[in-house]
Amino acid sequence: MLPFDQDTIAAISTPPGIGGLAVVRLSGPDALATLSPLFSAGESLTPRYATYGTLIHPDLAVGEFDDCIVTYFKAPHSATGEDLIEISIHGGAYLQQKLMEVLLSAPKIRAAGAGEFTLRAFLSGRIDLSRAEAVADLIHAKDSAAHKNAIHQLGGSLRTLVQSMSEDLIKTLTIIEAELDFSDQEIDQTPLSDLLAPLVKLLKTTEDLLETYFYGRRLEEGFRVPLIGAPNSGKSSLFNLLLGEDRAIVTSRPGTTRDTIEKTIIVAGHSVVLIDTAGLRKTDIEAEISGVDRSKEEIEAADLVILVHAPDTKSASLEKDINTPQITVFNKIDTITTTPTGKDTYLSCTTGEGLDQLKQLLYAQVINMVNAGVGGVILNSERHRDVFKRFSLQLSAGVAAIKGEVGPEYVASDLRLALDILGEITGKTTPDDILNQIFSGFCVGK
């Protein structure tokens, strides 16, 4: 990632946290081509016009990601001098992340580096030259902060992990490079297939790491825990009960859709966002008409689901369809004489019986989620996740190349590219680094 590459970059442009609105920007030659298929009004984007529509996310229900406003600025008449697209969506970290996720999965897009939009704006002359030093300082500050941030947030463990992954990759690459630069008369040759094992291991580590991203985001924003159940199962009462007992921090914010209520509580020192889907009742009829089950969306996005059953409701089938970790609750036990079986906990919102047990279960689950991660490393930055996704793709290409018996110089090319991608976090590996490894590891030279 250099100041003179022609990639299209994406970033959240509004400050982190929760606001009414968030703006995600795309700048570069592939901005329009990337966004059009993801936007309902993609065909009708006109330069400098704000266009209303909905975003399309492949994983979510068709047509119902979020309403948004997209403004398209055609190069050179934009803040960066390149094609620039601004997407305004409702605030809420969850939506921002979902949008970034779908944008970054497009082939020619990558996450912007520190200060990159500003840099491009400057280089195309959109920012006054008299502000040059200010811009330079800004980039410097952002870059250092980005570095410090990476170190600070996870106690340096991300860097350590990436460093060791990098070293493993360099070891394999060194063997290939040594054999390319020193003939079989000078050093022993290793069959390429022997090199597969360490690479496959690296791939697994990367996949595992990518899976922690979800948790990483959650650590930042709070684990999402919706209360799901049929109407009248007592969700709202339970919701209020859980909140009422824990007044440590309670913040109210607009939810992912307009029809839920979210409140944050602290469990085991971590934010947990409880979501009451009871609010849906108001728009149940509309929901039925439009055929969209909003609770399904919440379940998709959830880290943990609290399924609320009650004697007078038919909700036995709920658990079967849900893959997310769940706590099943049987509510209103004060209204029945024989306690059913098969649920995690039984309580009564009226008497408060069983509430402690539920909280303990909640606590245990949160601890579980926090302890997930690879070697204690959890990804929580969109940019880092983008790096690892691209790394995984590139490394897989290298593995496929070895299996396809492609020439070693092509395998080396694949692996070098993968190493460069990792280098966006650790710093670049140069040919001299590889040569140093070769000389210290092999007795070469006639």
140 binds other proteins (CB under 8 A): yes
| Least spacing, CB of residue 47 vs other proteins, in Å | 23
| Least spacing, CB of residue 260 vs other proteins, in Å | 42
33 binds other proteins (CB under 8 A): no
Stretch in the footprint of other proteins (CB under 8 A) among 241-249, 279-287, 364-372, 404-412: 404-412
What whole-number distance in Å separates Cα of residue 426 and Cα of residue 170?
13
- Whether residue 116 contacts residue 9, with contact meaning beta carbons closer than 8 Å, is answered with yes
**Residues in a beta bridge with 137:** none
What whole-number distance in Å separates Cα of residue 384 and Cα of residue 388?
6
Please state the separation of Cα 437 from the chain's center in Å.
35
285 binds other proteins (CB under 8 A): no
Tokens representing residue 10 in the block = 């994406």
Please state the separation of Cα 207 from the chain's center in Å.
13
Q: Which of 36, 168, 408, 426 binds other proteins (CB under 8 A)?
A: 408
66 binds other proteins (CB under 8 A): no
What whole-number distance in Å separates Cα of residue 364 and Cα of residue 366?
5
129 binds other proteins (CB under 8 A): yes
Give backbone dihedrals phi and psi of 29, rounded to 5 degrees, phi first: -60, -25
- Using the minimum distance from each CB to other proteins, give the nearer residue, 132 or 364: 132
Q: Which of 5, 43, 59, 321 binds other proteins (CB under 8 A)?
A: 5
Smallest CA-to-CA distance from 28 within 125, 105, 121, 131 is with: 121
135 binds other proteins (CB under 8 A): yes
- Using the minimum distance from each CB to other proteins, give the nearer residue, 179 or 298: 179
Touching other proteins, residues 170-229 (CB under 8 A)? 177, 179-186, 189
- Using the minimum distance from each CB to other proteins, give the nearer residue, 188 or 321: 188
61 binds other proteins (CB under 8 A): no
Smallest CA-to-CA distance from 90 within 112, 109, 114, 65 is with: 65
Q: Which of 41, 60, 136, 336 binds other proteins (CB under 8 A)?
A: 136
- Using the minimum distance from each CB to other proteins, give the nearer residue, 86 or 414: 414
- Whether residue 295 contacts residue 277, with contact meaning beta carbons closer than 8 Å, is answered with yes
Largest CA distance in the chain: 90
What whole-number distance in Å separates Cα of residue 105 and Cα of residue 406?
27
- Using the minimum distance from each CB to other proteins, give the nearer residue, 11 or 55: 11
Secondary structure class of 30 (helix, strand, coil): coil
- One-letter identity of residue 397: A
Smallest CA-to-CA distance from 142 within 118, 122, 126 is with: 118
Stretch in the footprint of other proteins (CB under 8 A) among 113-121, 149-157, 226-234, 375-383: 113-121
Stretch in the footprint of other proteins (CB under 8 A) among 34-42, 71-79, 119-127, 154-162: 119-127
- Whether residue 88 contacts residue 26, with contact meaning beta carbons closer than 8 Å, is answered with no
Q: Which of 28, 115, 216, 398 binds other proteins (CB under 8 A)?
A: 115
Q: Give the interface with other proteins as residue ranges (CB under 8 A).
A: 1-7, 113-115, 119, 122-123, 129, 132-133, 135-137, 139-140, 143, 177, 179-186, 189, 403-410, 412-413, 416, 427, 430-432, 434-435, 438-439, 443-446
